[in-house]
Chains A and B, each alone.
Chain A
Amino acid sequence: MDFRKTMEEKYLSIVKHYIQTQSEQGLYAGQQFSRRALEQKISPEEVISLQKSTMQELMPELPEEVWHSYDILLEIMTGYGFAFREHQSLLSKQQELKNEIEIAANVQETLLGTSIPSVEGLDIGAISVPAKQMNGDYFHFVQDGNHSVNVAIADVIGKGIPAALCMSMIKYAMDSLPEYRKDPSAVLGSLNRVVEQNIDDSMFITMFYGMYELRSNILHFASAGHEPGFFYCSKTGEFKDLKARGLLLGVDKGASYKRYEQFVEVGDMIILMSDGVTECRTDKGFIERETLISYINNHIFLPAQEIVNNIYRELERLQHFQLRDDFTLIIMKRTN
């Protein structure tokens, strides 16, 4: 059991065997020894000492000079051992940090959690996947009785922890503006002032805000510099951009956000995304919006949640399972 106690014996037999046979099998035994030694955190200087005592046993008649040379090797490998132990300690520290971030990510998920509303006549699917552990993308649904379903999708510059912290601020700013909730341009205007006052000059947030009126089936929307979504017209089978002009949140205190409207018929879809969707890089360059449209077309008859799941899986595969940016995709389909 105790590797340390038996390692001298083991090492001796490995060296002995190899000196006799010089076989690959003998070398393999050496490699296995090193694996055990690493597991047991045997330091390089201890291995040198093993080698020296082994050689003293096997060939005691070697000249003095050889034994002296081991002193230099031992000194040098003690230095490597110094670095080896630092590496070990950094590894365990890294694990600690990882655990902490994981907890933070869970906290974030709870803080920013939103549920996809189930509404008569509207099929909604949404997916949001962080590139790293914490998500700088954000989406939120609010259902206002039978009147409307509101949707927000936002993207903080950059990713990781700073972006995630920023998102929490946005979420609470939004929660504290209930009276404006219905009007997309007022929502973005208020959030812009909050963000402008609270974040660093080189930070910013893009956001698309939509209010889907259930009785009239009109989507009212406004955008603060957000990647434009698509509108799919089922009658013609065409996709068009949900164009909306508006400045990023947090750049100019006085920015105003124009409200746009889109009438939605049965079978039509609203597709919203973060730039992680269109900026996903593959071997052949960027995903073009056309490519994304063709992916949507491939799954168009599936339920909304399955469409977004499938598209995520396909884009993930195209990028060899390494997301460069947070990824968020929302599809709202009018069913009757």
Chain B
Amino acid sequence: MEIQSCVTILNEWDIVAARQLGRNVAKELGFGTVDQARITTAISELARNIYLYAGQGQLCIERLHEQSKTGLRIIALDKGPGIADIRKVMEDGFSTSGGLGAGLPGVRRLMDDFKIDSNPGEGTDIRAIKWLR
């Protein structure tokens, strides 16, 4: 069962709206304050990437209920320039150069599961899950 809500990212205020959405869902699912802060930090990074590099896109939050597990999935979608070398943006230290996809390795570490798909010219699709412990 999946329930999804989305925020369209166009400007910096939408980052706040996405965070708020993520925090509400996280709280509702029973995440503690530390995990709430981690989830919202991950949302901030992903939404900021959309705002800075793609111009616009969507940030969606899904509630996950699988067998005995409950979790939250962040989906960041854009039709921006895309990423040519995904391996490179997933390398630490790349974010410091301020290029495309800043902070993605950090987001991966904050979450339990992280998937990225991107093609130059077509955009980027990032999905990250945090499970409730």
Interface size of A as a range: 10 to 19
A79 to B106, CA, bound (A): 10
A90 to B41, CA, bound (A): 20
The A-contacting residues of B in range 1-48, CB under 8 angstroms, are 32-34, 37-38, 40-41
Contact A90 B92 (CB under 8 A): yes
Tell whether B103 is near chain A: CB-to-CB under 8 Å: yes
Tell whether B123 is near chain A: CB-to-CB under 8 Å: no
Contact A45 B38 (CB under 8 A): yes
A112 to B110, CA, bound (A): 47
Q: Would you give the shortest CB distance from A227 to chain B, in whole angstroms?
A: 38
A93 to B93, CA, bound (A): 11
Tell whether A82 is near chain B: CB-to-CB under 8 Å: yes
Tell whether A49 is near chain B: CB-to-CB under 8 Å: yes
Residues of chain A lying within 8 A (CB to CB) of residue B103: 82
The A-contacting residues of B in range 76-133, CB under 8 angstroms, are 92-93, 95, 103, 105-106, 109-110
Interface size of B as a range: 10 to 19
Binary interface profile of A, 22-63, with partner B (CB < 8 Å = 1, else 0)?
Answer: 000000000000000000000001101100100000000000
Residues of chain B lying within 8 A (CB to CB) of residue A79: 41
Binary interface profile of A, 76-116, with partner B (CB < 8 Å = 1, else 0)?
Answer: 00110110011001100100000000000000000000000
Tell whether A74 is near chain B: CB-to-CB under 8 Å: yes
Tell whether A75 is near chain B: CB-to-CB under 8 Å: yes
Report the tally of A-B residue pairs with Cβ distances under 8 A: 43
Residues of chain B lying within 8 A (CB to CB) of residue A46: 34
A82 to B92, CA, bound (A): 12
Q: Would you give the shortest CB distance from A154 to chain B, in whole angstroms?
A: 35
Q: Would you give the shortest CB distance from B98 to chain A, in whole angstroms?
A: 14
Contact B34 A89 (CB under 8 A): no
- Residue of A46, A79, A81 with most partner-chain B CB within 10 A: A81
Question: Given A82-B41, A89-B109, are A45 and B34 neighbors across the interface (CB < 8 Å)?
Answer: yes
Closest residue of chain B to A93 (Cβ to Cβ) is B92
Residues of chain B lying within 8 A (CB to CB) of residue A82: 41, 103, 106, 109-110
- Residue of B34, B109, B110 with most partner-chain A CB within 10 A: B34
Question: Given A49-B33, A78-B41, are A90 and B109 neighbors across the interface (CB < 8 Å)?
Answer: no
Contact B37 A75 (CB under 8 A): yes
Question: Given A82-B106, A82-B110, are A89 and B37 neighbors across the interface (CB < 8 Å)?
Answer: no
Contact B93 A85 (CB under 8 A): no
Residues of chain B lying within 8 A (CB to CB) of residue A78: 34, 37-38, 40-41
Which residues of A line the B interface, CB within 8 A? Answer: 45-46, 48-49, 52, 71, 74-75, 78-79, 81-82, 85-86, 89-90, 93
Q: Other than the known A79-B41, A89-B105, what 20 A-B pairs have Cβ atoms closer than 8 Å? A: A45-B37, A46-B34, A48-B34, A49-B32, A49-B34, A75-B41, A78-B34, A78-B38, A81-B38, A82-B41, A82-B106, A82-B110, A85-B106, A85-B110, A86-B92, A86-B93, A86-B106, A86-B109, A89-B92, A93-B92
Which residues of B line the A interface, CB within 8 A? Answer: 32-34, 37-38, 40-41, 92-93, 95, 103, 105-106, 109-110
A-B contact pairs, 22 of them (CB 8 A): A45-B37, A45-B38, A49-B32, A49-B33, A71-B33, A74-B34, A74-B37, A75-B40, A75-B41, A78-B34, A78-B38, A78-B40, A79-B41, A82-B103, A82-B106, A82-B109, A85-B110, A86-B93, A86-B95, A89-B105, A89-B109, A90-B92
